[in-house]
Structure 1
Protein backbone atom coordinates (compact mmCIF):
# COMPACT_ATOMS: atom_id res chain seq x y z
CA UNK A 1 0.00 0.00 0.00
CA UNK A 2 1.37 3.40 -0.95
CA UNK A 3 1.78 6.02 1.73
CA UNK A 4 2.33 9.71 1.22
CA UNK A 5 4.15 12.18 3.45
CA UNK A 6 1.87 14.23 5.71
CA UNK A 7 4.20 17.25 5.35
CA UNK A 8 4.86 17.49 1.61
CA UNK A 9 2.62 14.81 0.03
CA UNK A 10 5.56 13.00 -1.60
CA UNK A 11 5.85 9.25 -1.82
CA UNK A 12 7.16 7.48 1.29
CA UNK A 13 9.29 4.37 0.86
CA UNK A 14 10.20 1.70 3.41
CA UNK A 15 13.77 1.82 4.73
CA UNK A 16 15.53 -0.19 7.41
CA UNK A 17 17.13 1.95 10.14
CA UNK A 18 18.77 0.27 13.16
CA UNK A 19 16.97 -3.00 12.41
CA UNK A 20 13.50 -1.39 12.31
CA UNK A 21 11.46 -0.57 9.22
CA UNK A 22 10.40 3.06 8.79
CA UNK A 23 8.54 4.88 6.06
CA UNK A 24 10.81 7.68 4.84
CA UNK A 25 9.78 10.56 2.60
CA UNK A 26 11.81 10.78 -0.61
CA UNK A 27 11.68 14.60 -0.62
CA UNK A 28 11.86 16.00 2.89
CA UNK A 29 13.22 12.97 4.79
CA UNK A 30 10.32 12.80 7.28
CA UNK A 31 10.05 9.30 8.76
CA UNK A 32 7.29 7.47 10.57
CA UNK A 33 6.88 3.96 11.90
CA UNK A 34 4.19 2.04 10.00
CA UNK A 35 1.13 0.90 11.94
CA UNK A 36 0.87 -2.43 10.16
CA UNK A 37 3.59 -4.98 9.46
CA UNK A 38 5.80 -4.28 6.44
CA UNK A 39 8.26 -6.65 4.82
CA UNK A 40 11.06 -5.42 2.58
CA UNK A 41 11.46 -7.66 -0.46
CA UNK A 42 13.16 -7.27 -3.79
CA UNK A 43 12.52 -9.41 -6.84
CA UNK A 44 15.31 -9.85 -9.35
CA UNK A 45 14.62 -11.42 -12.72
CA UNK A 46 16.81 -14.43 -13.59
CA UNK A 47 18.41 -12.66 -16.56
CA UNK A 48 19.67 -9.88 -14.29
CA UNK A 49 20.77 -12.17 -11.47
CA UNK A 50 24.50 -12.78 -11.28
CA UNK A 51 27.17 -13.30 -8.69
CA UNK A 52 30.21 -11.17 -8.12
CA UNK A 53 33.37 -12.84 -6.95
CA UNK A 54 35.95 -10.86 -5.06
CA UNK A 55 39.51 -12.03 -5.31
CA UNK A 56 42.12 -10.61 -3.03
CA UNK A 57 45.70 -10.88 -4.10
CA UNK A 58 48.25 -11.31 -1.41
CA UNK A 59 51.04 -9.31 -2.97
CA UNK A 60 54.33 -9.35 -1.20
CA UNK A 61 57.47 -7.34 -1.63
CA UNK A 62 60.10 -9.19 -3.67
CA UNK A 63 63.73 -8.73 -2.79
CA UNK A 64 66.17 -7.73 -5.53
CA UNK A 65 67.95 -11.10 -5.37
CA UNK A 66 64.67 -12.98 -5.84
CA UNK A 67 63.67 -10.58 -8.60
CA UNK A 68 66.89 -11.34 -10.51
CA UNK A 69 66.32 -15.09 -10.12
CA UNK A 70 62.73 -14.78 -11.39
CA UNK A 71 63.88 -12.65 -14.32
CA UNK A 72 66.59 -15.18 -15.29
CA UNK A 73 64.11 -18.07 -15.10
CA UNK A 74 61.59 -16.14 -17.18
CA UNK A 75 64.09 -15.30 -19.91
CA UNK A 76 65.50 -18.85 -20.07
CA UNK A 77 61.99 -20.30 -20.45
CA UNK A 78 61.07 -17.60 -22.98
CA UNK A 79 64.20 -18.20 -25.07
CA UNK A 80 63.69 -21.99 -25.03
CA UNK A 81 60.08 -21.62 -26.11
CA UNK A 82 60.98 -19.06 -28.76
CA UNK A 83 63.74 -21.31 -30.15
CA UNK A 84 61.37 -24.31 -30.32
CA UNK A 85 58.72 -22.23 -32.07
CA UNK A 86 61.25 -20.81 -34.53
CA UNK A 87 62.60 -24.29 -35.35
CA UNK A 88 59.08 -25.66 -35.94
CA UNK A 89 58.25 -22.68 -38.17
CA UNK A 90 61.36 -23.09 -40.34
CA UNK A 91 60.64 -26.77 -41.04
CA UNK A 92 57.32 -25.97 -42.73
Structure 2
Protein backbone atom coordinates (compact mmCIF):
# COMPACT_ATOMS: atom_id res chain seq x y z
CA UNK A 1 0.00 0.00 0.00
CA UNK A 2 1.45 3.41 -0.92
CA UNK A 3 2.76 5.56 1.91
CA UNK A 4 1.97 9.23 2.43
CA UNK A 5 4.18 11.97 3.85
CA UNK A 6 3.85 12.58 7.61
CA UNK A 7 4.54 16.31 7.04
CA UNK A 8 2.25 17.30 4.16
CA UNK A 9 0.27 14.18 3.18
CA UNK A 10 1.89 13.92 -0.27
CA UNK A 11 2.52 10.61 -1.99
CA UNK A 12 5.81 8.98 -1.00
CA UNK A 13 7.63 7.64 -4.07
CA UNK A 14 10.51 5.15 -3.90
CA UNK A 15 13.88 6.41 -5.16
CA UNK A 16 17.17 4.52 -5.27
CA UNK A 17 20.35 6.19 -4.11
CA UNK A 18 23.69 4.70 -3.05
CA UNK A 19 22.35 1.12 -3.25
CA UNK A 20 19.52 1.96 -0.82
CA UNK A 21 15.86 2.67 -1.48
CA UNK A 22 14.19 5.68 0.11
CA UNK A 23 10.62 6.95 0.12
CA UNK A 24 10.53 10.61 -0.98
CA UNK A 25 7.59 13.00 -0.80
CA UNK A 26 6.99 14.58 -4.18
CA UNK A 27 5.53 17.74 -2.59
CA UNK A 28 7.93 18.74 0.17
CA UNK A 29 10.96 16.47 -0.42
CA UNK A 30 10.78 14.69 2.96
CA UNK A 31 12.67 11.38 2.81
CA UNK A 32 12.90 8.27 4.91
CA UNK A 33 14.65 4.98 4.29
CA UNK A 34 12.35 2.22 3.06
CA UNK A 35 11.88 -0.13 5.99
CA UNK A 36 11.98 -3.91 5.67
CA UNK A 37 8.29 -4.03 6.56
CA UNK A 38 7.36 -1.56 3.79
CA UNK A 39 9.76 -3.12 1.28
CA UNK A 40 7.61 -6.27 1.26
CA UNK A 41 4.78 -4.17 -0.20
CA UNK A 42 6.85 -3.25 -3.26
CA UNK A 43 8.27 -5.25 -6.13
CA UNK A 44 11.06 -3.65 -8.14
CA UNK A 45 9.81 -3.82 -11.74
CA UNK A 46 12.20 -1.49 -13.54
CA UNK A 47 15.07 0.75 -12.54
CA UNK A 48 15.84 3.93 -14.39
CA UNK A 49 19.50 4.15 -13.43
CA UNK A 50 20.15 7.43 -15.22
CA UNK A 51 17.84 9.28 -12.82
CA UNK A 52 18.11 6.89 -9.86
CA UNK A 53 14.32 6.33 -9.86
CA UNK A 54 12.66 3.04 -9.06
CA UNK A 55 9.28 2.12 -10.49
CA UNK A 56 7.38 -0.23 -8.25
CA UNK A 57 4.15 -2.15 -8.29
CA UNK A 58 2.19 -3.12 -5.23
CA UNK A 59 1.88 -6.88 -4.66
CA UNK A 60 -1.82 -7.56 -4.56
CA UNK A 61 -3.80 -10.72 -5.15
CA UNK A 62 -7.18 -10.35 -6.84
CA UNK A 63 -8.82 -7.32 -8.44
CA UNK A 64 -7.87 -3.85 -7.16
CA UNK A 65 -10.50 -1.69 -5.48
CA UNK A 66 -11.59 1.63 -6.98
CA UNK A 67 -9.51 3.44 -4.35
CA UNK A 68 -6.43 1.42 -5.30
CA UNK A 69 -7.02 2.15 -9.00
CA UNK A 70 -7.26 5.90 -8.27
CA UNK A 71 -4.13 5.85 -6.11
CA UNK A 72 -2.20 3.99 -8.81
CA UNK A 73 -3.41 6.48 -11.43
CA UNK A 74 -2.28 9.41 -9.24
CA UNK A 75 1.07 7.71 -8.67
CA UNK A 76 1.65 7.20 -12.41
CA UNK A 77 0.66 10.81 -13.19
CA UNK A 78 3.06 12.14 -10.54
CA UNK A 79 5.84 9.87 -11.75
CA UNK A 80 5.41 11.03 -15.36
CA UNK A 81 5.26 14.69 -14.30
CA UNK A 82 8.55 14.25 -12.43
CA UNK A 83 10.12 12.51 -15.41
CA UNK A 84 9.09 15.26 -17.83
CA UNK A 85 10.25 17.94 -15.39
CA UNK A 86 13.69 16.39 -14.96
CA UNK A 87 14.06 15.91 -18.73
CA UNK A 88 13.22 19.55 -19.40
CA UNK A 89 15.71 20.66 -16.72
CA UNK A 90 18.41 18.57 -18.40
CA UNK A 91 17.60 20.08 -21.80
CA UNK A 92 18.02 23.59 -20.36
CA UNK A 93 21.55 22.75 -19.17
Higher RCO (Cα < 8 Å, 6 or more apart) = 2
TM > 0.5 fold call = no
Identify the TM-score tier after normalising by the shorter chain: 0.3 to 0.5
Largest Rg, 1 or 2 = 1
TM-score, normalisation: structure 1 = 0.41
TM-score, normalisation: structure 2 = 0.41
